[in-house]
Amino acid sequence: MPIIRNDLVLFSGKKDTYLICDEGSGEIESYRKSLDYLSSQVWNKDCSVILGFDVEGESSCQSYYEQIGAILRRMTLKHVFCYGQDIEKYAYAFPKGAVLYNSKSDMIDDLSKFDFEKESMLIKAPATMGIQDVISFLQRRVHDTVYEINLNAIEHNLSYLRSRIEPTTRVMCMVKAKSYGMGDVEIATTLQRAGVDYLGVAYVDEGVNLRQWGIDTPIIVMNPEDSSITSLIKYRLEPEIYSMRVLRKFSDELEKYNFTQPYPVHIKMDTGMHRLGFSHAQLPELIDFLREHPHIKVGSTFSHLAAAEDPREDEFTRSQLARFEDMANTLIGGVGYHITRHILNTSGIIRYADKQYEMVRMGLGLYGYIPFYEIQRNLRCCATLRTVISQIRTLDAGETVSYNRRYRVQNTSRIATLPIGYADGISRLWGNGRGYVTINGQKATIVGSICMDMMMVDVTGIECNEGDTAVLIGRDPSADVIAEEIGTIPYEVLIRVSDRVKRIYTLRI
């Protein structure tokens, strides 16, 4: 039996629905795999399906529909819509309450009568049946500009980085700032499925959002604010504690609750970054407090390396590692129980594997970027920002492009306008001859000032038409190439992509 692979596309729909779209195989096993994925989702309590079937060529329509119906009857579904040739004749095979249509057009006309809200919905049909018109009815917004995130690439990068550490070393994955702008629940769900030990966020509201979407992996909040401690405890988030003031505030709030087990916290040590954390001189006071308050237990202690990626700073980095080890041992000896230690970020995993302790933290490497060429080749690009050409015009020498006439055409040129600008996250430093986009595999130089909602590129000599795709961030140009050109870091390039750009997620199962 051939292996069936389903290619899913995931994104938000109207009224807090979540759409899981699969346009591919019509084999029964393919439906079973996609339905299993729907059943395992954590985002919404209710699940629904819209399924299309192409039974031409099937030896027995009756047997086909009966097998599909049997799968559906074993599930708990809020809505069931199915369309296909003569399907209404086989209503007995489908769950009670299923709505069946012999034609897709009849079904689409009927969908407006139903209330879809806060549910996850699988939309699946063979490619011969098409589902785009169904998706158009249900999706929240339609744009030519999209940010496409490949969840399989993130899984690959996680697997590769895990191969660089000991099997017993635990893994914490950073999903703060919506996973560097790529998405929150979708990526957190992928990491949870992969069995990571912790997720890391910056603020409590980020962790609360993940909890509300069904993420139950332990979550560390790296910057717990005083005003959010109540929510932190309510949603069983675990705070970074970096000072006695924060610890006392948290302890006072925790005493209002009656937990049967000590509440885990994570102690931040300042080993030279000088951002947040306890100094060595503060450890005796910290230890005394922890001994006197057994309702709090240290789950881990950690620090940040300031320059793990830079060989010129190896002496300083080694001094940080030595300082951390000494401080961690002092804390462990003082409280009298085992504490997980972690200090390595992605660069540290590559360059200081002998100091992985009991846990490591993975950040930008998960998303395909690391400042080491040989390692970079083993990672996969997971995010592609793309749009389409709105218009192409031919300009003569001497004509100018965009605001302030900053770009003057030297020779007769074809100039394409793209519907994306600095409001979407494209830096104005990237323009007027600096930087490029990729169209049909060729580089098109950015010309003129980038506007709020548009930008122009020179497509002279490139075979392209209006409606063709242009890639702004992806394999080429990559975020690190853009960052180097405009004098920043890949983090900033990725996180700039604004929320008004539609995110879609692809996943092969």
Cβ(304)–Cβ(349) below 8 Å:
no
Please state, in angstroms and rounded to a whole number, the distance separating the CA atoms of residues 373 and 351: 13
Cβ(93)–Cβ(70) below 8 Å:
yes
Please state, in angstroms and rounded to a whole number, the distance separating the CA atoms of residues 418 and 144: 10
Which residue pairs, CB below 8 angstroms and at least 24 apart, start in 203-207? Answer: 203/176, 203/228, 204/228, 204/229, 204/231, 204/232, 204/235, 204/237, 205/231, 206/175, 206/176, 206/177, 206/178, 207/232, 207/235, 207/237
Which residue among the candidates 33, 78, 124, 176 is catalytic per the annotation? 176
Active site residue 403: yes
Amino acid at 163: S
Cβ(51)–Cβ(124) below 8 Å:
yes
Phi/psi zone of residue 359: left (φ > 0), alpha (ψ -120 to 50 degrees), beta? beta
Cβ(356)–Cβ(166) below 8 Å:
yes
CA distances from 345 to 138, 170, 300 (A): 40, 13, 15
Active site residue 14: no
Please state, in angstroms and rounded to a whole number, the distance separating the CA atoms of residues 22 and 210: 25
Residue 144's Cβ-side half-sphere holds a number of Cα atoms within 13 Å equal to 16
Query: Could you give the residue numbers annotated as active site?
Result: 176, 403
